[in-house]
């Protein structure tokens, strides 16, 4: 295999030249009959990764200059790299899919272990290869010495759980290709000649330092699953500055081959592959942090993933306007009244038929169970929400008490559990595109009297203490609770446009207009500082 890999390459300087030569070679082969054509296809597929991908594997979508250049580069140096490319830039298609198939066609006795963070992810890559061997008749005809004509019945092993076995001379205990999870059940006693690590870092693997360490340690343990003199490939996307890929880079375990979505790695740089319009749309939809990780391969974008003052928009809540909205209450309880503890936060959010989201009222206080229940009932009675979403942490004890109070008072409402494994910071960052696009309105002033009898402005507290300070704020409870509005479990939807038509005239063209004057203020600083009218 070592000698074979040095003669495998994409031997043409440009895609145009490659297509011209492919055409000439196959035209000549066609003059000599079908068997010569199949032999020619087989030889080209073994030698030329781009030909294999585009012609034999029928991936016409990869017939572009970007994929051609990457096929040339990967074919010239296939092993020992950490390939961090932007999403939708064909890294898994070229390396995990096409290159692995080429390895098998060149050396049927190879054993490949594909590892992802969890086993279902690895099985998805194996499924793609398995399906290609089952459903591509041209590929089977070109390589009858390697591929089974009817693998489901003829192959000694052919499943996602056990792996797939092609025609081979040797009989190792490992299948030709197997799929395993890095952190959820690595195999025991296996030794693969090729280890392929694709997407071992995921959003779930960077939730906490312990999760990062768990993934990094699992990767180190998995190296023992390689055969003596075996090879390794790493393919993925950055999610955190200190993630497992950083450990690979620091230890020089693999040579980095990094391709952000733009030539210079900047947000405004010239795109490598996507159109400027498509890249701009991704930046808009993802927000800066996710865009920085997945498209720019730069988790340091975390430093710039905060919220900006110029994104803030304000409105004046009124009963008439609020009643035309779909209203939801979101609760993030804290279970301590200590001074350093987090706050219990409750938001009432209205979804307007105009596609905007309006914060109507809020609670931010250190409350015990009885106080939380009392505040929740007050908000439900005042706003009659379509749904109450409750953070999963501490849910059971709270809900039991709330149910008892509902039975006692004869006033019932449903509660939906809001959970999930997404890290809090990532959950909060889902708000970035909403604020950036001006889709969320805050009350100009949100007066709240806490349990100690003090009147506070929750809008000012939210903006100054959390919104502008994120991601280094002392508390982020209000942001985290507000981010729950996009949870699927909440089921929040906008009302029909027809229901809103009558209310459009009542909304100010400028969300600042009239709202603050009526509150007794003639100016409002985006940082939350108010000046009283004279």
The pLDDT tens digits of the residues spanning 253-266 come to 999 999 999 999 98
Query: Last residue of a domain, which of 236, 259, 282?
Result: 259
Asked whether the beta carbons of 442 and 458 are under 8 A apart, the reply is no
Are residues 504 and 395 located together in one domain of the fold?
yes
**Residue whose token pair is 């000694």:** 156
Query: Last residue of a domain, which of 259, 285, 317?
Result: 259
Give a yes or no: residue 427 inside a domain: yes
Give a yes or no: residue 213 inside a domain: yes
> Is the torsion defined by CA of 406, 411, 412, 418 positive or negative?
negative
Longest CA span, the chain: 96
Are residues 431 and 528 located together in one domain of the fold?
yes
Strands 326-332 and 387-391: parallel
| CA gap 233, 133 in Å, rounded | 22
Give a yes or no: residue 301 inside a domain: no
Q: What is the dihedral of CA 392, 487, 325, 353, to 10 degrees?
A: 180
| Tally of structural domains, the chain | 2
Contact partners, residue 341, CB within 8 Å, separation at least 6: 334, 366
Q: Is 340 exposed, middle or buried (0-12, 13-18, 19+ CB in 10 A)?
A: exposed
Eight-class DSSP state of 223: G
Asked whether the beta carbons of 321 and 330 are under 8 A apart, the reply is no
| CA gap 500, 222 in Å, rounded | 58
Q: 3-state DSSP call for residue 291?
A: helix
Query: Last residue of a domain, which of 259, 283, 299?
Result: 259
Q: 3-state DSSP call for residue 346?
A: strand
Give one DSSP letter per residue of 386-406, joined into a string: SEEEEESTTHHHHHHHHHHHH
| CA gap 123, 175 in Å, rounded | 14
Are residues 313 and 248 located together in one domain of the fold?
no
Strands 455-457 and 521-524: unpaired
Alpha helix stretches (DSSP H) within 410-508: 424-429, 432-436, 458-461, 477-483, 497-500
Asked whether the beta carbons of 415 and 440 are under 8 A apart, the reply is no
Are residues 186 and 314 located together in one domain of the fold?
no
The first and second tokens of residue 53, run together, are 């991908």
Neighbouring C-beta atoms of residue 176, cutoff 10 Å: 25
Q: What's this model's pTM, rounded to 2 decimal places?
A: 0.61
Give a yes or no: residue 334 inside a domain: yes
Are residues 103 and 199 located together in one domain of the fold?
yes
Give a yes or no: residue 269 inside a domain: no
The pLDDT tens digits of the residues spanning 437-484 come to 999 999 999 999 998 999 999 999 999 888 987 875 667 899 999 999
Asked whether the beta carbons of 257 and 82 are under 8 A apart, the reply is yes
Q: What is the CATH number for 462?
A: 3.30.420
Are residues 384 and 524 located together in one domain of the fold?
yes
Q: How far is CA 130 from CA 70, 164, 186, 397, in A?
A: 24, 7, 21, 48
182-185 LR contacts (CB < 8 Å, sep 24+): 182/115, 182/116, 182/117, 182/118, 182/215, 182/218, 182/219, 182/222, 183/117, 183/118, 183/214, 183/215, 183/218, 184/118, 184/119, 185/119
Closest by CA to 95, choosing from 217, 257, 250, is 257
pLDDT per residue as tens, the chain (534 positions): 333 444 677 889 999 999 999 999 999 999 999 999 999 999 999 999 999 999 999 999 999 999 999 999 999 999 999 999 999 999 999 999 999 999 999 999 999 999 999 999 999 999 999 999 999 999 999 999 999 999 999 999 999 999 999 999 999 999 999 999 999 889 999 999 999 999 999 988 887 778 889 999 999 999 999 999 999 999 999 987 778 999 999 999 999 999 999 999 988 889 999 999 999 889 888 887 788 889 999 876 545 567 899 999 999 999 999 999 999 999 999 875 544 457 899 999 999 999 999 999 999 999 999 999 999 999 999 999 999 999 887 677 888 899 999 999 999 999 999 988 888 888 999 999 999 999 999 999 999 999 899 999 999 999 988 898 787 566 789 999 999 999 999 999 999 876 555 444 444 444 433 333 333 333 333 333 333 333
Give one DSSP letter per residue of 113-146, joined into a string: EEEESSHHHHHHHHHHHHHHHHH-HHHHHH-TTT
Are residues 230 and 370 located together in one domain of the fold?
no
Asked whether the beta carbons of 203 and 426 are under 8 A apart, the reply is yes
Closest by CA to 401, choosing from 453, 349, 335, is 335
| CA gap 333, 397 in Å, rounded | 11
Report the Cα 241 to chain-centroid distance in Å: 16
For residue 62, the cross-strand partners are none
Are residues 254 and 313 located together in one domain of the fold?
no
Give a yes or no: residue 298 inside a domain: no
Residue 310: predicted pLDDT = 95
Report the Cα 234 to chain-centroid distance in Å: 19
**Residue whose token pair is 């693969």:** 192
Asked whether the beta carbons of 293 and 301 are under 8 A apart, the reply is yes
Asked whether the beta carbons of 348 and 385 are under 8 A apart, the reply is yes
Contact partners, residue 380, CB within 8 Å, separation at least 6: 329, 388, 411, 413
Are residues 322 and 216 located together in one domain of the fold?
no
Are residues 247 and 363 located together in one domain of the fold?
no
Report the Cα 529 to chain-centroid distance in Å: 36
Q: What is the CATH number for 120?
A: 3.40.50.300
Domain that holds residue 151: 57-259
Give a yes or no: residue 446 inside a domain: yes
| CA gap 381, 392 in Å, rounded | 23
Are residues 231 and 338 located together in one domain of the fold?
no
Residue 3: predicted pLDDT = 39
Give a yes or no: residue 161 inside a domain: yes
Are residues 329 and 448 located together in one domain of the fold?
yes
The first and second tokens of residue 489, run together, are 């479990």
Residue 85: predicted pLDDT = 97
Residue 474: predicted pLDDT = 63
Residue 526: predicted pLDDT = 32
Residue 330, phi then psi, degrees to nearest 5: -120, 130
> Is the torsion defined by CA of 462, 463, 469, 470 positive or negative?
positive
For residue 371, the cross-strand partners are none
């Amino acid at each position: 295999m070592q000698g074979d890999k040095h003669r495998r390459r994409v031997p043409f300087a440009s895609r145009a030249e490659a297509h011209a030569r492919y055409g000439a070679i196959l035209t000549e082969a066609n003059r000599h009959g079908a068997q010569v054509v199949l032999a020619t296809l087989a030889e080209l597929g073994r030698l030329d990764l781009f030909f294999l991908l585009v012609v034999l594997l029928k991936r016409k979508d990869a017939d572009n200059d970007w994929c051609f250049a990457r096929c040339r580069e990967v074919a010239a140096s296939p092993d020992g790299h950490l390939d961090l490319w932007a999403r939708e830039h064909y890294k898994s298609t070229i390396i995990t899919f096409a290159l692995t198939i080429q390895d098998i066609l060149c050396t049927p006795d190879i054993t490949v272990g594909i590892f992802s963070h969890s086993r279902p992810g690895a099985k998805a890559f194996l499924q793609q290869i398995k399906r290609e061997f089952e459903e591509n008749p041209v590929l089977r005809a070109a390589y009858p010495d390697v591929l089974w004509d009817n693998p489901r019945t003829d192959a000694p092993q052919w499943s996602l759980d056990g792996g797939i076995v092609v025609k081979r001379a040797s009989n190792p205990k490992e299948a030709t290709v197997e799929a395993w999870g890095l952190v959820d059940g690595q195999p025991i006693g296996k030794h693969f000649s090729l280890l392929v690590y694709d997407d071992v870092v995921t959003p779930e693997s960077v939730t906490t330092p312990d999760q990062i360490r768990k993934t990094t340690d699992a990767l180190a343990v998995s190296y023992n699953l390689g055969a003596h003199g075996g090879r390794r490939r790493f393919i993925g996307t950055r999610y955190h500055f200190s993630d497992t890929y950083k450990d690979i880079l620091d230890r020089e375990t693999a040579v980095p081959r990094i391709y952000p979505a733009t030539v210079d790695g900047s947000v405004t740089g010239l795109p490598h592959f996507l159109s400027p319009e498509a890249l701009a749309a991704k930046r808009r939809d993802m927000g800066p942090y996710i865009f920085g990780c997945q498209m720019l391969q730069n988790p340091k974008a975390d430093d710039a993933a905060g919220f900006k003052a110029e994104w803030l928009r304000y409105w004046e809540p009124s009963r008439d306007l609020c009643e035309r909205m779909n209203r939801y209450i979101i609760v993030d309880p804290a279970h301590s009244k200590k001074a350093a503890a987090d706050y219990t936060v409750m938001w009432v959010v209205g979804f307007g038929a105009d596609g905007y989201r309006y914060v109507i009222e809020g609670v931010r206080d250190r409350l015990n169970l009885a106080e939380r229940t009392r505040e929740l009932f007050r908000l439900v009675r005042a706003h009659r929400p379509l749904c109450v979403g409750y953070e999963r942490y501490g849910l059971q004890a709270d809900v039991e008490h709330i149910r008892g109070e509902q039975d006692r008072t004869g006033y019932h409402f449903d509660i939906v559990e809001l959970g999930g494994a997404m890290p809090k910071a990532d959950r909060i960052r889902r708000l970035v595109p909403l604020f950036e696009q001006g889709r969320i309105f805050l009350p100009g002033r949100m007066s709240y009297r806490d349990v100690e009898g003090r009147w506070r402005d929750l809008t000012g507290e939210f903006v100054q203490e959390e919104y502008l300070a994120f991601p280094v704020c002392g508390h982020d409870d209000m942001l985290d609770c507000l981010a729950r509005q996009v949870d699927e479990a909440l089921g929040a939807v906008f009302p029909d446009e027809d229901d809103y038509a009558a209310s459009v005239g009542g909304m100010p063209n400028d969300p600042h207009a009239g709202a603050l004057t009526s509150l007794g203020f003639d100016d409002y600083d985006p940082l939350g500082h108010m000046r009283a009218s004279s």
